Amino acid sequence: MTSGGRSRSGMLNFFILESQNMNADGKCSFDEQEGKNGLGNHEHADYIVTGAWSSKAAEEAEKYIKVKKVFQPSKPYVTVPDQEKWTHDEKAAYLYYCANETVHGIEFTPTAPESHNVPLIADVSANFMARPFDFKDHGVVFGGAQKNLGAAGLKIVIVRKDLIGKKQGITPAVFSYKEIIANNSLYNTPPTGGIYTPNLVLKWIKAKGGLQTIYELNLKKSGLIYGIIDNSNGFYHCAVDKRYRSIMNVCFRIGGASGNDELEEKFLKGAIERNMISLKGHRSVGEIRASLYNAITLEETQVLATWMNEFEKQYNTN
């Protein structure tokens, strides 16, 4: 279930958890472990809802604490409202946000939201190890390893030391960060195979030149696809505010802002013929979604770019 250790600074504790609370998209929600561990005596928590996964996280958190949303979410999810318009509460247990919304292609970039003097709780499932991350003001940083770090079923949890032990009375010992530390991360048998895989991935990242190099490559990949979209005279359309476009998940429609189902089906069929799969967007929103996680190379991204250019040349009548 668990593995981990202490940072040299003594400020953070790091855990790897075998996670049973993944959803169909492989995404973690802030529920069992984090919700039961971080409440203390607080009555409510603040939530930033910017897409499907932060919305689900807020719903799950309501099982354990009163949830206050710092702004009223509006669909479709295409942006993050200006922070000066948010309503914060300094008595909140924490302020939660999802660093990258995979379904809608929204990412907090280049920095995290302002904490307003409460611990930030970040779900980094989709962009952990894809870009440098500033831990300043964060109390808990967690995420599934399956996007950029390892295999599905493993969760990374990084906890600020002063928050450990502030769990609810109903928290099972196996989910308690305090118990994990007391038992040297061996409360039960850790998933050694799942832990070994991130070790190999981290060595691969280091061999590539480190996290900054990986980040610069991800910028090139996403920039290549966004550039085609923006220069297509509306044939390809990305509704996401450019300030918050994800470098991991590029979501767009074909044939205009509302999309053309026939054209999108043709595009997906042609992509499969060119050995590109899983470009169909999430079942809840449709559209096209190009997921450019670390394992996707610039050369592979160029294959998609070439197909997009060919398809536009054939079908764009504007």
pLDDT of 245-286, one tens digit each? Answer: 999 999 999 999 999 999 999 999 999 999 999 999 987 787
The pLDDT score that the predictor gives to residue 154 is 87
* pLDDT tier at 116, thresholds 50, 70, 90: confident
Q: Structure tokens of 156?
A: 């990374």
More confident residue, 216 or 164: 216
Pairing label, strands 44-47, 66-69? parallel
Q: For 160, list phi and psi in degrees, rounded to 5.
A: -70, 135
Which element (helix H / strand E) includes 17?
Answer: strand 12-18
Residue 250: closest CA among 232, 268, 223, 231:
223
Question: Side-chain half-sphere of 62: how many Cα atoms within 13 Å?
Answer: 9
**CB of 58 closer than 8 Å to CB of 67:** yes
Average pLDDT of the chain to the nearest whole number: 87
Report the range out of 14-18, 119-123, 153-157, 169-173 with the highest average pLDDT.
119-123
Q: Which of 11-15, 140-144, 200-204, 222-226 has the lowest mean pLDDT?
A: 11-15
Catalytic residue among 27, 46, 56, 123: 123
Q: Which domains does the chain have, with CATH numbers?
A: 13-21+37-208 (3.40.640.10), 211-315 (3.90.1150.10)
Q: Which of 85-89, 182-186, 257-261 has the lowest mean pLDDT?
A: 182-186
Active site residue 75: no
Report the range out of 47-61, 161-175, 279-293 with the highest average pLDDT.
47-61
The pLDDT score that the predictor gives to residue 15 is 56
* pLDDT tier at 185, thresholds 50, 70, 90: confident
Strand partners, 17: 2, 155
Per residue in 190-232, pLDDT (tens digit) is: 888 888 999 999 999 999 999 999 999 999 999 999 999 999 9
**Is residue 27 over pLDDT 70?**
no
Mean pLDDT of 127-139: 94
More confident residue, 5 or 94: 94
What percent of the chain lies above the pLDDT cut of 70?
87
**CB of 145 closer than 8 Å to CB of 121:** no
> Tokens 């003594």 map to which residue?
10
Rounded to whole angstroms, how far apart are CA atoms 154 and 156?
7
**Is residue 10 over pLDDT 80?**
no
Q: Structure tokens of 15?
A: 């855990």
Distance separating the N- and C-terminal Cα atoms of the chain: 56
The pLDDT score that the predictor gives to residue 102 is 96
Q: Which of 38-47, 139-148, 162-171 has the lowest mean pLDDT?
A: 38-47
3-state SS class at 275: coil
Residue 242: closest CA among 262, 268, 223, 216:
223
3-state SS class at 222: helix
Neighbouring CB atoms inside 10 A of 190's CB total 18
**Is residue 8 over pLDDT 50?**
no
Contacts of 79-84 spanning 24+ positions with Cβ under 8 A: 79/106, 79/240, 79/241, 79/243, 79/244, 80/48, 80/50, 80/106, 80/108, 80/241, 80/243, 80/244, 83/113, 83/114
Residue 287: partners with Cβ closer than 8 Å, 6 or more residues away: 251, 252, 253, 259, 264, 281
More confident residue, 264 or 34: 264
- 28: which DSSP letter? B
Active site residue 147: yes
Which element (helix H / strand E) includes 201?
Answer: helix 192-208
Strand partners, 245: 106
Rounded to whole angstroms, how far apart are CA atoms 258 and 34?
38
More confident residue, 286 or 137: 137
Active site residue 313: no
Catalytic residue among 27, 36, 56, 147: 147
